[in-house]
Amino acid sequence: MALTVEIDPHSGFCGGVIRAIGSAERFLSEHPGRPLHSLGAIVHNEEELERLSRQGLVTVSKEDLPGLAAAGLTSLLIRAHGEPPETYRLASNLGFEVVDCTCPVVLKLQKDIRAAYERLQATGGGRVVIFGRIGHAEVLGLVGQVGGDAVVVEDAQMLRAFLSDGTIRRDARIELFSQTTKSPEEYAEIAGILSAFLADPSGLTVHDTICQQVARRHSKLSEFALSHDVVIFVSGTTSSNGQVLFGLCKSLNIRTFHISSEADLRKEWFRPDDRVGVCGATSTPKWLLERVASHIAGLSL
């Protein structure tokens, strides 16, 4: 048998990223020679960022905004991860034209968190708890919806620490949310720990906020990882979703390797008769998956 290579048909950009990149490319094509400034990386993939930078997309931080405004460079893209309300106020005060590419799923989550917080405040208080990665752009935007008055937990260990030190009390009413790209299994574990801890489990409201496209990808990717001898997982080094999905693949197939591009591939990972699966995160472009697969197919073993 010869080495065979298959690309996971369910991998590649999620809808929110496709929408954001499409909006950026459309703006740049309609305004030739005019740069578009993305507040943070539009996608957590170095290869795609390099491609877009050649078209005129420039990644900036909030600290850069006053200088850009002073220079008359006032085109600003809000990426799919979303931003807290204060960012929009700052952009408006500085005179920026905003291209808002916040993912509709994230927008709904932001709205739901604001509504939950208002409910809790109107009925004597409680805690908004968000399962997500501290410092992640989406999570910063979510916490900003309630002025920072939310508890963010990254995993079960952190949650148990908050339960033991009183950050979350047994008599509290909890509205629980998840970052849209987290593992459904881990989210269920977080909800289970909270339910068992609270004096009145009915005081816990668990919101279904993981993106369904992402949730379906978990089950499909599990099948994909188990059906191949070797799995090559392609994603950017800063992709939160990439870390979660790579971990899923690795837990099911020990011969799973993470790369950023075809330059990271190693011949010693492969055997001549291997069935190789190439897959990636919601931030991994299809063209990169195809380039990696082509490179693997051309290896001389």
- SS3 call for 72: coil
Tell me whether residue 21 is exposed, middle or buried, using C-beta atoms within 10 angstroms of its C-beta: 0 to 12, 13 to 18, 19 or more.
Answer: buried
Both structure tokens of 250: 């690795």
Candidate list 47, 48, 83, 138, residue with the active-site label: 138
Residue 85 in contact with residue 106, Cβ under 8 Å?
A: no
Q: Is 83 a catalytic residue?
A: no
Both structure tokens of 183: 């593992």
Residue of 118, 138, 140 lying closest to 128 (CA atoms) = 118
Tell me whether residue 170 is exposed, middle or buried, using C-beta atoms within 10 angstroms of its C-beta: 0 to 12, 13 to 18, 19 or more.
Answer: exposed
Strand order, beta sheet including 151-153: 151-153, 127-131, 174-178, 204-206
Catalytic residue IDs: 138
